[in-house]
Amino acid sequence: MNLIISTLKKDDLYNKKIIENIQKNINNVEVIYAEDMNIKGCIGCNRCWLVTPGICTIKDDYERLLIKFLQAKQVVFITDLRLGFVSYKLKNIFDRILPLLTMNLRFKNGQMRHCLRYKKHYKMGLIYKGNGNREFLEKWLERVMINLDGTSIGTYNIENEEEILNALINC
C-alpha cells in the first residue's frame, strides 16, 4: 500500500488535484487527512521506549498513523509551509515517530543512530505548498530518513505535478 498523509484541508484545490493524479497513476493508494485527526505533540517522556515499547503513551489519533506507517510501501506527506518549514501538524507527526525506534544505539556512516524496532525499510517523500527553500527541506527529510534507516523520495512543490508523479512512479 502507498500512503498519503495530507495536513492540507480536503477542499484545497491543489491538494485535491495532486491526490487525484497520484491515485490515477499509482495503484493501491490510501489517503489520510490529518485535519480530521487529533494529534498532540510529543512530550519526550520516552515511555514508548521504556514502559510500553512501541506504543506511545499519548492517547489520541496517532496510533492509527503508526500502524499505517508499518503497512505502507511508501509514505508521502502533503503540507503547507509556515515560515519556510512544514506545518505544526506535520511536525507533530514526525516528532511522534519514536515508537518505530528503540532506545538502543548503533553507528551508521560515522553517526550514532537509534535501532529500528521493526525490520522495515521506510520510503518517504514530501509535497509542500507555499514558498520555501527546497534544498533545506530536502536536507531535513534526508536527515529524518537517516534516523529511520530509510530512503527519501524527495521534496516537491505541489505545483510540479509531473515531477511528483515521475518520482513516485520510479521510486
In tens, the pLDDT along 79-97 reads 999 999 999 999 999 999 9
pLDDT for 111: 85
pLDDT for 101: 94
pLDDT for 110: 87
The mean per-residue pLDDT over the stretch 47-72 comes to: 94
Burial 139-169 (b: 16+ CB within 10 A, else e): ebbeebbebbbbebbbbbbbeebeebbebbe
CA distance 142 to 23: 25
Confidence of residue 104 (pLDDT cuts 50, 70, 90): very high
Strands 101-108, 85-86: pairing kind: unpaired
Confidence of residue 51 (pLDDT cuts 50, 70, 90): very high
What percentage of the chain exceeds 70 in pLDDT? 100
Task: Identify the domain containing residue 37 by its residue range.
Answer: 2-169
Which of 50-54, 87-91, 105-109, 148-152 has the weakest average pLDDT?
105-109
Number of domains observed in the structure of the chain: 1
Here the cell at position 32 is 489520510
pLDDT for 85: 96
Q: Is the pLDDT of residue 170 over 90?
A: no
- Residue 143 is part of a domain; what is its CATH number? 3.40.50.360
CB 101 within 8 A of CB 90: no
